[in-house]
Structure 1
Amino acid sequence: MTTPQGTTELHELVLPVMANHHGTLFAGQGLQLMAKAAFLAARGLAQREVVMAGVTGVDFMSPIPVGYSLTLRAWVSRVGSSSMTVCVSGHTEAPAAPPEEALKGVFEMVAVDGNGRPAVIESRYMKQESRS
């Protein structure tokens, strides 16, 4: 099965080195994981390098204890000429516990050229959309 262009899914195990003094995922680590998922989804759609331009919102709904697994799903929800909006959702999984949405965020990403300047997104996705 192939992943649609502009989407990605990452699986992480929350280890002690990622935790705060409460034994749960440190928020900074959570942001880093969400940013990585957003980057991979945006680069997959743009088919070129991307950078983060901003974060329009992040919510941490519940703590994620050490030992839990975290599944991050990222998808491109808006595509402009060089920018994209990427939504990221994180769900926890643990033995004998139902999956639960624990964090989510919205990231603004920009496709860039070799000089780090904004570049036009010319992906297969965009070409398919323009034919419709």
Structure 2
Amino acid sequence: MTSPLGTVELRELVLPALANHHGTLFAGQSLQLLAKAAFLAARSLAQREVVMASVSGVDFLQPVPVGHQLLLRAWVSRVGRSSMTVCVTALADTPGVPQDQVLKGVFEMVAVDALGRPATMDCSYIQQETPT
């Protein structure tokens, strides 16, 4: 099953190499995972290379212990001429325990050309919802 353009779901296992001295996911690693999901969602929608322009907010809602699996979900919530806003959430998952939202962030991404300059996106392929 393929995801719609501009959305992505990925899973990561919190291994000791990603942890801090408390045995939980290090904040810097959390940011890297959120940014990776935002990049993948933005590139899928733009159908070209993208770069991160800013992070307008990241919330570390709960610590994530080593051994937990993260389910990261990213989706493009706004599309401009060359920029887009990507929202990302992360749920912690361990067998037998309900999923909890542990991270969330909002990223501004920009489509770029081969020289790294902002490039207009052709979003004519995006399906527009029709009112019912």
* Structure-2-length-normalised TM-score: 0.95
Q: Aligned letter for 2:84? A: M
Compute the displacement of 1:95 (Å): 1.9
Please list every run of 5 or more consecutive structure 1 residues that lacks an aligned counterpart in the other structure.
Answer: none
* Structure-1-length-normalised TM-score: 0.95
Q: Aligned letter for 2:91? A: H
Between stretches 107-116 and 95-104, larger displacement belongs to: 95-104
Compute the displacement of 1:19 (Å): 0.0
Compute the displacement of 1:22 (Å): 0.3
Please list every run of 5 or more consecutive structure 2 residues that lacks an aligned counterpart in the other structure.
Answer: none
- Provide the C-alpha distance between the structure 2 equivalents of 1:18 and 1:119, rounded to a whole number of angstroms: 35
> How many aligned positions are there?
130
Question: Per-residue displacement from partner, 1:51-87 (whole Å, max 9, x unpaired)?
Answer: 0000000000000000000000000000000000000
Provide the alpha-carbon RMSD of the alignment: 1.5
Question: Per-residue displacement from partner, 1:78-106 (whole Å, max 9, x unpaired)?
Answer: 00000000000000001221100000000
Partner of 1:36: 36
- What SS does the aligned partner of 2:35 have? helix
Partner of 2:2: 2
Partner of 1:58: 58
Q: Aligned letter for 1:109? A: M
